[in-house]
A and B are shown apart, each in its own frame.
Chain A
Amino acid sequence: MLEINDLHVSVDGREILKGLTLAIPAGEVHAIMWPNGSGKSTLSYVLSGREGYDVTGGSVTFNGKDLLTLAPEERAAAGVFLAFQYPVEIPGVPNATFLRTAVNAIRRSRGEKDLDAIQFMRAVKEKSKKLGITDEMMKRAVNVGFSGGEKKRNEILQMAMLEPAFAILDETDSGLDIDALRVVADGVNALRDPGRSMLVITHYQRLLEYIVPDRIHVLAHGLIRRSGGPELAHELEKTGYAEFADGKAA
Chain B
Amino acid sequence: MSAVATQPDWLTALRDAGRARFGEAGLPTQRQEIWKYTGLNKLKALTFEPSADIAGTAPAIEPLIDAAHRLTFVNGRFDAARSRIGALPGNAILASLAEILRDRPNLLEGRMGVTAAIDRRPMAALNTAWIEDGLVLIVPRGVAVEGVIEAVFVNTGEAPVAHPRLLVALGDMAEVVLVERHLGGGGGGFTNQVAEIALGDGASFRHYVHHAEPTISTALETVTVTVGRDASYRSFGLAAGGGLVRREIEVVLRQPGGFAQVDGAYLVDGERHADTTVLIDHQADHCASRQTHKGVIDDDGRAVYQGKILVRPHAQKTDGYQLSQTLLLSGGAEADVKPELEIHADDVKCSHGATVGRLDADALFFLRARGIPEAEARALLIQGFIGGALDEIDRPDVREAFGAAASNWLTAHSESTA
Interface residues of A (CB under 8 A from B): 48-51, 71-73, 75-77, 81-82, 84, 87-93, 97-98, 101-102, 105-106, 109, 141, 158, 162
- When the two chains form their complex, are residues B386 and A92 in contact, meaning their CB atoms are under 8 A apart? yes
> Taking the complex as formed, is B367 at the interface, i.e. its CB lies under 8 A from any CB of chain A?
yes
Q: Interface digits, B343-375 against A, CB 8 Å rule (1 contact, 0 not)? A: 000000000000000001111011111111110
The 9 closest A-B pairs by CB, nearest first: A92-B384, A76-B371, A93-B384, A72-B368, A92-B387, A102-B370, A88-B366, A105-B371, A106-B371
> Is B279 an interface residue when CB atoms closer than 8 A count as contact?
no
Name A144's closest neighbour in chain B (CB-CB): B384
The answer to whether B363 touches A102, judged by C-beta atoms less than 8 angstroms apart, is no
B370 / chain A contacts, CB cutoff of 8 Å? 76, 98, 102, 105, 158, 162
Q: Are A73 and B373 in contact (CB under 8 A)?
A: yes
Chain B residues with CB under 8 A of A88: 360, 362-363, 365-366
| B54 within 8 Å of A (CB atoms) | no
Among the interface residues A50, A77, A102, which one has the most CB atoms of the partner chain B within 10 A? A102
B216 at the interface (CB under 8 A from A): no
Q: How far is the CA of A141 from the CA of B384 in the complex (A)?
A: 9
Question: Residues of B contacting A97 with CB < 8 Å?
Answer: 380
A149 → B minimal CB distance (Å): 19
Looking at the complex, which one of B374, B384, B385 makes contact with A71 (CB distance below 8 Å)?
B374
Q: Which residues of A contact B365 (CB under 8 A)?
A: 50-51, 72, 88
Asked if B323 is at the interface (CB within 8 A of a chain A CB), the reply is no
Complex contacts, B363 vs chain A, CB 8 Å: 88-90
Q: Which of B360, B376, B386 contacts A105 (CB 8 A)?
A: B376
5 chain-A/chain-B pairs, Cβ below 8 angstroms: A76-B370, A88-B363, A92-B383, A93-B380, A105-B376
Please give the distance in Å from A211's CB to the nearest CB on chain B: 21
Decide: A93 and B366 in contact? CB cutoff 8 A. Answer: no
| Residue B147 is within 8 A (CB to CB) of chain A in the complex | no
Q: Chain A CB within 10 Å — which of B361, B370, B376 has the most?
A: B370
List of B residues within 8 angstroms of A73 by Cβ: 368-369, 371-374, 377
Q: Does B381 contact A (CB under 8 A)?
A: yes
Across-interface contacts of A158 in B (CB, < 8 A):
370
- Asked if A162 contacts B380 (CB within 8 A), the reply is no
Q: Report the minimal beta-carbon distance from A105 to chain B, rounded to whole angstroms.
A: 4
- B381 and A90 within 8 A (CB): yes
Cβ of B63 under 8 Å from chain A: no
Query: Is the CB–CB distance between B380 and A98 below 8 Å?
Result: yes
Q: What is the bound-complex CA distance between A91 and B323, given in angstroms?
A: 15
Q: How many residues of B contact A (CB 8 A)?
A: 25
A141 and B374 alpha carbons, distance in the complex (Å)? 20
Whole-angstrom CA separation of A84 from B376 in the bound complex: 21
Set of chain A residues within 8 Å of B362, measured between Cβ atoms: 88
Return chain B residues, CB-CB under 8 Å to A87. Answer: 366
The reply to whether B380 and A91 form a contact with Cβ atoms under 8 Å apart is no
Q: Find out whether the CB atom of B387 lies under 8 angstroms from the CB atom of A76.
A: no
Contact of A77 among B371, B380, B381 (CB under 8 A): B371
Query: Which residues in A have their C-beta under 8 angstroms from that of B368?
Result: 49, 71-73, 76
Q: Is B313 an interface residue (CB 8 A)?
A: no
Asked if B388 is an interface residue, CB under 8 A from chain A, the answer is: yes
Tell me, rounded to whole Å, the shortest Cβ–Cβ distance linking B371 to chain A.
Answer: 3
Complex Cα spacing A102 to B380, Å: 11
B369 touches A93 (CB 8 A): no
Residues of A within 8 A of B385 (CB): 91-92
The smallest C-beta distance from B238 to any residue of chain A, in angstroms, reads 15
A102→B367 contact, CB < 8 A: yes
Report A-chain residues with C-beta under 8 Å of the C-beta of B381: 90, 93
Verify A72–B369 contact, CB threshold 8 A.
yes
Question: Contact between B384 and A101 (Cβ–Cβ < 8 Å)?
Answer: no
CB pair A84–B371 under 8 Å, yes or no, is no
Q: Which residues on the B side are within 8 Å of A49 (C-beta)? A: 368-369
Q: Which residues of B contact A82 (CB under 8 A)?
A: 369
Expressed in whole angstroms, the Cα–Cα distance for A202 and B365 within the complex equals: 22
B360, B368, B388 — which one has the most chain A CB atoms within 10 A of its CB? B368
Q: How far is the CB of A127 from chain B (nearest CB, A)?
A: 15
For B365, the closest partner residue in chain A by CB is A50
Q: Which residues of B contact A51 (CB under 8 A)?
A: 361, 365
Interface mask (B384-410 → A, CB under 8 Å = 1, otherwise 0): 111110010000000000000000000
In this complex, which of B362, B365, B387, B391 has the most chain A Cβ atoms within 10 angstroms of its Cβ? B365
Q: Which of A90, A141, A162 contacts B366 (CB 8 A)?
A: A90
